[in-house]
Amino acid sequence: MVSALVCRPLAISVRSSAPASALPLAGGPLAFSACEAIRRPAPGRIERSTVATAELIEQAIGERWASAPEAWELLDRLSNPRPAFAGLGMSRPRVMGVINVTPDSFSDGGDHFEPGRAIEAGLAMREAGAAILDVGGESTRPGAEPVPAEEEMRRVMPVVRGLAKAGALVSIDSRRSVVMRAALEAGARIVNDVTGLTGDPVSLGAVAQSGAAVVLMHMQGEPRSMQKAPRYEDVALDVYDWLEARVAACEAAGIARARIAVDPGIGFGKTMAHNLQLLEQLALFHGLGCPVVLGVSRKSFIGKISGESEAKRRLAGSLAAALAGLERGAQIVRVHDVAETAQAFAVWQAIVEAKPEPPAQAVA
């Protein structure tokens, strides 16, 4: 695969203490003073170079690093503030609470299977700090079998209606256009599709027509087989290129970039090594000019690292991975443990926004 120039922000620090030459990272509280410029000029060949942001700008002005339009567009996408996503400001990290209305999801299957319990749990998540409530009726865990559309609708629609009626910002986690449309009509405002609007030939047009926001997630393969020896030339670049193509397809269909968020799909057709590489290189995805969504909560790679086989006992590892995402500029983090995550985020935000005390005045 041949790809255009991409840039991974490096030397990321708090903006208030960053060098004067640093650029803001997606307009948030962090800044980067260097980046890794990456090109794939031919299949199997990757060229990388590390440049300071000051040099990067100088080379762009002089058209020595890349064509000026390409370089400036990339710099703008990396540094400009993100517009509100589904009406939600992106100036600070947001928590997306997971509501699986399923009997077989990997970590909470059955917990919210009854609609009344699911609505109650969702409202409790909102009270605890979830800005978005993500409702799904089909498990996409590794090895999961598809659920008929009628059953998926039966599971999610009462929950979507109940939460939307209560004023919550609801996301529908589905890969079927019929479910997306029904949920949007019932008050959902975001579509979260693990196939990046490729799993249903009608879904791209349905979302474009609706005016809803959309989360495009990367998945290699499909849930039944995605963990059977997934392979990449370079996982971060391959996922970036795929998401870039999906963003372009959405724009061509009439979905403005301001309506799009991207998710690299941790655990969806990736080995543990792939997951760790994606997390470490997460800042790369800001080059797409969209909010970055990160889903790491309770996932199996945390269990493999920690030795914890019980998904519900992976809170500490989930928080560590989520905070690593914040340190790389993630704007939305999808979690099961909302209260604990919201508390961790509030402390992180307070630290990055802390102002240095003025020097003490000398006593005459």
Nearest to 262 by CA among 32, 82, 28: 82
Stated as kind and residue range, the H or E segment containing 96 is strand 94-100
C-beta of residue 12 within 8 angstroms of C-beta of residue 328: yes
Does residue 312 have an active-site annotation? no
State the distance between the two ends of the chain, measured CA to CA, in whole angstroms: 70
Q: What angle do CA 333, 339, 340 make, to 5 degrees?
A: 80
CA 228 to chain centre: 24
Cβ neighbors of 199 (< 8 A, separation 6 or more) are 175, 176, 193, 222
Long-range contacts of the stretch 307-316 (C-beta < 8 A, 24+): 311/106, 311/107, 311/108, 312/107, 312/108, 314/107, 315/340
The phi and psi torsions of 104 (rounded to 5 degrees) equal: -140, 20
Q: Is 299 a catalytic residue?
A: yes
Q: Which of 175, 181, 299, 328 is catalytic?
A: 299
- Please tell me which residue in 8, 141, 328, 334 is annotated as part of the active site: 334
User: Mapped to the 3 state alphabet, what secondary structure does 62-87 carry?
Assistant: CCCCCCHHHHHHHHHHHHCCCCCECC
- The residues that are catalytic are 299, 334
